[in-house]
Amino acid sequence: MGNDKKKFEKIINIRNKKASFEFEFIDTFVAGIVLKGTEIKSIREGKVSLTEAYCYFKKGELFIKQMHIAPYSMAANYNHDAVRERKLLLSKKELDKLESKFEEKGLSIIPVRIFINDKGLAKVEIALGRGKKLHDKRQDIKTKDIKRELDRMQF
C-alpha cells in the first residue's frame, strides 16, 4: 500500500527555459540542495522559479542565489525566506572540476531544472555555460521556426 502513494504523486520537473536560449551548455551536473522543511513542501507543490537564479563559489562551496521558492501556504510561523541563498551538494571531485572550468573567462554556472528524484529528494541540474551572441540566438529562432513549419506540413 505504501508504494501506491508514489504512483499518484505529481511529477515535479521545473525547467529554466530562458537558460537554453541565453547560454550554450558545455557540461551538466546534478546537485542536491540544502533545504528547510517548508521549502521542500513548496517544491513538491511546484512553486519554484529558476529564471533569475545563478550559481557561484564561496570558500570552495557552491551556492545558488535568486532561486525563488514560494512560501508554503500551510505554514504558520516558521516559513522560509523565498529567495535566500542555498548550498548545493556535489562531490569534492565534481566541485574541483567545476571550479577550475568556472574560472575560465566568460563561463557561468546556470541552474537548468529542478526535480524530485525517485527517493523523494530535491535535485538541481546545473550547467556550465557560455553566453550566446546575438547571431547565435537568431540562428536558434530560425531553426525553431523551420522545425515548426515542417511539423505543420506533416499534418
Q: Compute CA 28 distance to the chain's CA centroid, rounded to the nearest angstrom.
A: 11
Contacts of 138 (CB under 8 A, 6+ apart): none
Q: Alpha-carbon distance 86 to 12, whole Å?
A: 19
Confidence band, pLDDT 50/70/90 cuts, at residue 3: low
Confidence band, pLDDT 50/70/90 cuts, at residue 10: low
More confident residue, 5 or 141: 141
Q: Closest by alpha carbon to 125, among 78, 60, 55?
A: 55
* Cβ proximity of 68 and 82 under 8 Å: yes
Q: What is the pTM of this model?
A: 0.75
Please identify which residue in the block is written with the cell numbers 501506491: 4
Checking if the pLDDT of 124 tops 90, the result is: yes
What domains can you pick out in the chain, each with its CATH number? 2-154 (2.40.280.10)
Checking if the pLDDT of 88 tops 60, the result is: yes
| pLDDT score recorded for residue 7 | 45
| pLDDT score recorded for residue 4 | 45
* Cβ proximity of 88 and 102 under 8 Å: no
Which sign, positive or negative, has the C-alpha torsion 27, 99, 22, 135?
Answer: negative
Output the CA torsion 115→121→125→126 (10° steps). Answer: 130
Q: How many CB atoms lie within 10 A of CB 49?
A: 16
Confidence band, pLDDT 50/70/90 cuts, at residue 16: confident
Q: Which of 2-6, 85-89, 98-102, 143-147 has the lowest mean pLDDT?
A: 2-6
